[in-house]
Amino acid sequence: MDVTVSPSRVAGRTRAPPSKSYTHRAILAAGYGASATVLNPLVSADTRATMRAVDAFGGETELADDGSELVVDGFDGRPDAPDDVVNCENSGTTMRLVTACAALGDDLTVLTGDDSLRSRPQGPLLDAVGELGGRGESTRRNGRAPLVVGDGMTGGAVSIPGDVSSQYITALLMAGAVTDEGVDVALETELKSAPYVDITLELLAEYGVDAEATAEGFSVAGGQSYAPAGGEYEVPGDFSSISYLLAAGAVAAADGDTVVVEGARPSAQGDAAIVDVVRDMGAEVDWDRDAGELTVSRAALSGTTVDVGDTPDLLPTIAALGAVADGDTVIENCEHVRYKETDRVRAMAEELGKMGASVTEEEDRLTIHGDETDLAGATVDGRHDHRIVMSLAVAGLVADGETTVTGAEHVDVSFPNFFETLDSLGASVQRS
């Protein structure tokens, strides 16, 4: 699907979708237990992949017709061998979390995904599974999917790099809670995307599982059970998705009007940093934490410098804001952002360039030169990546002329009704 966005002014009230990060973890945590209900889950292509994995391991997931809750009968700690290959599609979170889960099984599980997912690194996690008493292999012997995992991982101590993916740590902590020995993870390098591990620790606590940060890394005791209080867990709103709505308000809110985003409840999400980024660039943002509401109005933005070491998913949004702002916007510490659904550093450099942005791309830094940029409508490639699609659409709100984003259906990964939401705020959006 292609979507064409024309210059628009936006205003009104909308709600952020539930958090994809929390939903993935909540579904699998419920699978590890006997039964639980996940309230307000994000229902998307990625989270459906995690639901299918729980089903494949012997659990059962049942989604309410209106999507408001997901009832999970779990596999109670130890997964069964699936009847077929587990296809994680495009969901890197699913594959990494499920890899450690599958390693608990006595028999073997084969995991695969689409072309993009099969290009993403899994080697350090596979090595860790082997060191913890399980089996983790790449069928092509290159550290990438398809993967073969199993042989009853028992736990123990392991060291792992922290600068490739925080999801490795999340996967090992979640699985480690039900091993015999528990798991102690020592970090070999500085941890990138650390707030995502904070999300994991917060969610584990909600499910009654004790895990903690240590001087060397992280630790979780074995022999624990997953059981949220009252049998229910409610997913908070997603700040990665909120970032596009805040950005839209900051660059395109109607004169004298605002965009109000509901569902912005405080949590461990590192991507809540977008609130301060937008403020630093000059927009007025009010955050009523008690009500979970953000209010933003349009302003003349100025460039800023942002370290995205802990918030990699914000890079596309910040890049789009930088293309509208005066002066330079410098996005630092971003090499790990190249290993997402696509190389997001290069994708934003090249696609914003098609729209007339002046961009300097370095290995670990992206600079958008706002003073040398006049955004003009163009046909841009969404790169099969939901975050690239949404960020380019935001830029299209203020570009001169029509902006057509190809592959726009990939918003289904995290924000399935994104374009309907823009339309409800007054944006001119056409689908083809």
Q: Which domains does the chain have, with CATH numbers?
A: 3-17+237-431 (3.65.10.10), 20-234 (3.65.10.10)
Distance, in Å, from the CA atom of 369 to the CA atom of 303, rounded to the nearest integer, reads 8
Is 224 marked as binding a ligand? no
Position 234 scores a pLDDT of 94
Is 92 marked as binding a ligand? yes
| DSSP at 201 | H
Contacting residues for 198 by C-beta, under 8 A, at least 6 apart: 268, 270
Q: What is the pLDDT of residues 349-395, one digit of tens each?
A: 999 999 999 999 999 999 999 999 999 999 999 999 999 999 999 99
pLDDT grade, residue 16 (50/70/90)? confident
Position 69 scores a pLDDT of 98
Distance of CA 64 to the CA centre of its chain: 23
Position 124 scores a pLDDT of 97
The stretch 94-118 carries a mean pLDDT of: 97
Distance, in Å, from the CA atom of 396 to the CA atom of 156, rounded to the nearest integer, reads 51
Contacting residues for 77 by C-beta, under 8 A, at least 6 apart: 32, 33, 104, 178, 225, 226
Catalytic pick among 46, 151, 271, 313: 313
Tell me, yes or no, if 65 is annotated catalytic: no
Distance, in Å, from the CA atom of 238 to the CA atom of 253, rounded to the nearest integer, reads 21
Q: Cβ(299)–Cβ(282) under 8 Å?
A: yes
Position 246 scores a pLDDT of 98
10 Å Cβ neighbour count for 112?
Answer: 16
Long-range contacts of range 307-311, CB-CB < 8 Å, 24 or more positions apart?
307/332, 307/333, 308/332, 308/333, 308/334, 308/337, 309/192, 309/193, 309/333, 309/334, 309/336, 310/192, 310/193, 310/194, 310/195, 310/270, 310/273, 311/193, 311/195, 311/270, 311/271, 311/273, 311/274
Q: Please, where are the H alpha helices in 77-222?
A: 92-102, 123-131, 167-176, 194-206
In this structure, is the dihedral angle defined by the CA atoms of residues 320, 325, 330 and 333, taken in order, positive or negative?
A: negative
Q: What is the mean pLDDT of the chain?
A: 97
DSSP E strand boundaries for 342-427: 358-362, 365-369, 379-381, 403-406
| Of 57, 141, 44, residue with least CA distance to 97 | 57
* Whether pTM exceeds 0.75: yes
Whether residue 236 is predicted with pLDDT greater than 90 in this model: the reply is: yes
CA dist 191 to 23, 125, 126, 187, 353, Å? 22, 15, 18, 7, 31
Q: What is the pLDDT of residues 28-40, one digit of tens each?
A: 999 999 999 999 9
Distance, in Å, from the CA atom of 400 to the CA atom of 410, rounded to the nearest integer, reads 25
Is 167 marked as binding a ligand? yes
Is 144 marked as binding a ligand? no
The stretch 203-208 carries a mean pLDDT of: 98
Is 20 marked as binding a ligand? yes
Contacting residues for 249 by C-beta, under 8 A, at least 6 apart: 10, 258, 259, 261, 283, 296, 297, 298
Is 165 marked as binding a ligand? yes
Q: What is the pLDDT of residues 136-170, one digit of tens each?
A: 999 999 999 999 999 999 999 999 999 989 999 99
Position 19 scores a pLDDT of 94
CA dist 102 to 82, 201, 389, 398, Å? 9, 21, 32, 47
Q: What is the pLDDT of residues 177-196, one digit of tens each?
A: 999 999 999 999 999 899 99
Is 269 marked as binding a ligand? no
Whether residue 103 is predicted with pLDDT greater than 90 in this model: the reply is: yes
The lowest-confidence range among 191-195, 293-297, 323-327 is 191-195
